[in-house]
Structure 1
């Protein structure tokens, strides 16, 4: 049975526009095989790239183990994206996944038979806006959102991406994968320090979609 458990993840944004569909050039290398990914829609209608093992039987899983989320590649903190923000983002991602998936499955303390394992990462995104230099490879990139006709300045938004693998806790076989992007709050300028709150709405959307995917799967 299909596990859309997978995926809403990265499951992971504001419903949407095609520009938020991850492209091969966005892939970080966190997942071992991207060749099976296909374009799909999350329960909220957001574009995702995902793969689900057609042999997957969701009834075989009675609990879920969520590995601590990580940044991939590992970033160096900056003045605009300090270490406290990076930690706050992964901490919140973990909380959101446990909060939502815990509504459908008991949380396991470790992998094992009958356990579906979620292995999430926040991955690098770089700017592809015409006329702008790509940003350094960091997990969160500030990208131009719009030109202000009044002041002639540019507003900026925080854009993040996720990649996640879903594994059978008994044999560690990958049973699903997802890649997804999201856009957070507008930031005042390129000196504004990014805070975890600026991307929490995106992370909440990822986790909620994952939960809704699991509910749909259970209903089949």
Structure 2
């Protein structure tokens, strides 16, 4: 499996597991190995395609800030295209990160260091299948960058065919694992039979962030 590590990105995937409860038993998904010692995951009845685990008795109100670690990107060995540019992936990643921060802040600070009351989040996009798109009229020239912007251009260069979101969260003071989530992006309302897209992943992450923000503000 080819792995690309990039800076910055969205976090709320793991946060979902902090909010979820009432899970039911489901078939075990295929794991990438990003998370060490996968716990006994259960399907999330509120999120088709998502599998979750959380520490028993977890006090969700104890966390008032979020720290986001670097994301890992795992390109599947059977992907039709593996040559995605690191700058392209960083541009997409930065857009995800900004979306999450815009949802959480100022109510839920996104911090750079762990500590008491801080939820530390690790996130990966795994089992990624890509397909290279045809060049447009401007091609991938500096002029094209100016016209479209780097984030938009990255999405136009490479099409996302399939992907899984994996994440885990830890207590920022003790390092204890609190929650795990694996989301295959399957069976989303209105998306049945459709392939995942960069926009779909961004919307999913924003939804998780909004749920965490709403729950956290109740404390």
* Range class of TM-score, shorter chain: 0.5 to 0.7
Q: Which runs of 4+ in 1 moved over 6 A?
A: 183-187
Aligned with residue 70 of structure 1, among 58, 69, 72: 72
CA distance in 2, matches of 1:37, 1:23: 9
Give the superposed CA RMSD: 3.8
Aligned counterpart, 1:140: 129
Name structure 1 gaps, 5 residues minimum: 12-21, 125-138, 143-155, 188-196
Q: What secondary structure sits across from 1:105 in the alignment? A: coil
Q: In the TM superposition, what is the alpha-carbon distance from 1:8 to its structure 2 partner?
A: 6.2
Cα 1:56–1:81, aligned 2, differ >3 Å: closer, same or farther?
A: same
Aligned counterpart, 1:39: 43
Q: In the TM superposition, what is the alpha-carbon distance from 1:170 to its structure 2 partner?
A: 0.6
Aligned counterpart, 1:30: 34
CA distance in 1, matches of 2:17, 2:207: 8
Kept in 2, the 8 Å contact 1:158–1:199? The answer is no
Name structure 2 gaps, 5 residues minimum: 1-12, 21-25, 132-158
May I ask how many residue pairs the two structures share in their alignment? 168
Kept in 1, the 8 Å contact 2:81–2:129? The answer is no
Cα 1:210–1:181, aligned 2, differ >3 Å: closer, same or farther?
A: farther
Aligned counterpart, 2:112: 109
Aligned with residue 123 of structure 1, among 122, 126, 130: 126
CA distance in 1, matches of 2:93, 2:122: 12
Aligned counterpart, 1:16: none
